[in-house]
């Protein structure tokens, strides 16, 4: 157990450092850029106002409210304090709704949509990839081109194709939203059913995207492992093929887990765009609204939340990996 806690501790430290770095970037990057967010909101509020002094007054009021007239370091401490209180500022575009409130209503849609889909896609993709490597022949010849095709289609492309085929042409599923637009979120059966129906298209799209990527990786990984020296050696000691295959799949799967940890950020990013295609009420949509409304605090908070989400997911995967790969414990023990 000592090995694990050391591994765990190391990872935890590393992720804390990463989070701090991400946090800093989130604060600094926008401030390094030209452009003045307060000017944007002032302009919006004061359209039609003719008095220059009046505009100036509004500007100062907002600068004060968002703290942009203070020195940088003071702004930073203010930002840190507020974030830790759960205060992510006030939205520009939905003024005066707090950003935290907007995010609270969208983050769970994304979490509940993406993570189950990515995990399911990962499992199916790896199984198919392993089978393709093992069975070769027809199955492989069919699976490989399909996977290559899917993984060459960008996430949003697949989303649109799925939407048009199953939503528009066949009409099996609704084409947009997270639930019927005429419903108010509550715990009724009707609402839950509507959520389930709306969930299907985005969910299976993301599953499919994940399958495409994973199957190819697993296939070549398994082919590589199948030719490994230990497989040959085990066979020449009389060990049954069925058993050596188990060695191979286990060993081929481990890098796939690490790969998942490394690519979860990219996957989530691509899927956010897919969410937008389905007008799913998750974080993708939030970004779109933020961009359309020039909503500076909302964008900044959303990116922070996405980073945190990805970091946690990566962390969890790496911790699980520590339990699954015996070498981790062995390497930490000495």
Residues 231/247, Cβ–Cβ less than 8 Å = yes
CB contact burial 77-86 (16+ within 10 A = b; e otherwise): eebeeebeee
Contacts with other proteins, 164-183, as mask; x by CB under 8 A: x--xx------xx-------
CA distance 173 to 196: 10
CB contact burial 288-324 (16+ within 10 A = b; e otherwise): ebbeebbbbbbbbbbbbbbbebbbebbbebbbebbee
64 binds other proteins (CB under 8 A): no
Residue 44 or 232 having the CB closest to other proteins: 232
Residues 234/244, Cβ–Cβ less than 8 Å = yes
Torsion sign (Cα): 156, 162, 168, 172: negative
79 binds other proteins (CB under 8 A): no
Closest approach of Cβ 33 to other proteins, in Å?
Answer: 4
- Contact pick of 29, 78, 80, 192 for other proteins (by CB under 8 A): 29
Cα 198 to chain centroid, rounded: 19
Closest approach of Cβ 302 to other proteins, in Å?
Answer: 8
Residue 17 or 196 having the CB closest to other proteins: 17
Binding-site residue total for other proteins (CB under 8 A)?
82
- Contact pick of 45, 65, 197, 273 for other proteins (by CB under 8 A): 273
Closest approach of Cβ 53 to other proteins, in Å?
Answer: 26
320 binds other proteins (CB under 8 A): no
User: Looking only at residues 82 through 141 of this chain, which bind other proteins when binding is defined by CB under 8 A?
Assistant: none
Neighbouring C-beta atoms of residue 170, cutoff 10 Å: 9
Q: What is the DSSP code (8-state) at residue 98?
A: B
Residue 194 or 289 having the CB closest to other proteins: 289
Residue 81 or 250 having the CB closest to other proteins: 250
Closest approach of Cβ 121 to other proteins, in Å?
Answer: 18
């Amino acid at each position: 157990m000592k090995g694990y806690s050391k591994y765990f501790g190391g990872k935890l430290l590393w992720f804390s450092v990463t989070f701090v770095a991400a946090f800093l970037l989130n604060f600094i990057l926008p401030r390094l850029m030209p452009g003045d967010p307060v000017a944007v909101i002032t302009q919006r509020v004061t359209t039609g106002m003719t008095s220059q002094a009046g505009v100036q007054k509004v500007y100062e009021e907002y600068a004060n409210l968002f703290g942009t007239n203070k020195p940088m370091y003071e702004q930073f401490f203010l930002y840190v304090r507020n974030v830790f209180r759960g205060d992510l500022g006030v939205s520009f575009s939905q003024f005066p709704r707090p950003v935290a409130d907007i995010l609270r209503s969208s983050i769970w849609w994304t979490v509940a949509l993406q993570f189950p889909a990515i995990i399911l896609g990962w499992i199916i993709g790896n199984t198919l990839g392993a089978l393709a490597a093992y069975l070769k022949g027809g199955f492989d010849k069919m699976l490989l081109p399909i996977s290559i095709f899917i993984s060459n289609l960008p996430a949003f492309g697949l989303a649109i194709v799925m939407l048009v085929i199953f939503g528009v042409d066949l009409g099996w599923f609704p084409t947009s939203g997270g639930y019927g637009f005429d419903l108010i979120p509550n715990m009724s059966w009707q609402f839950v059913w509507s959520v389930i129906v709306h969930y299907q298209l985005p969910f299976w799209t993301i599953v499919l995207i994940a399958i495409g990527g994973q199957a190819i990786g697993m296939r070549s990984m398994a082919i590589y492992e199948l030719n490994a020296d230990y497989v040959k050696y085990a066979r020449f000691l009389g060990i049954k093929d069925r058993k050596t295959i188990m060695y191979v799949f286990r060993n081929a799967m481990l890098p796939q887990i690490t790969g998942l940890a490394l690519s979860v950020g990219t996957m989530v990013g691509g899927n956010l765009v897919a969410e937008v295609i389905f007008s799913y009420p998750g974080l993708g949509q939030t970004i779109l609204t933020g961009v359309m409304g020039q909503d500076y605090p909302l964008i900044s908070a959303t990116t922070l939340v996405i980073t945190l989400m990805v970091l946690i997911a990566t962390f969890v995967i790496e911790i699980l990996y520590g339990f699954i790969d015996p070498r981790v414990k062995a390497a930490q023990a000495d």
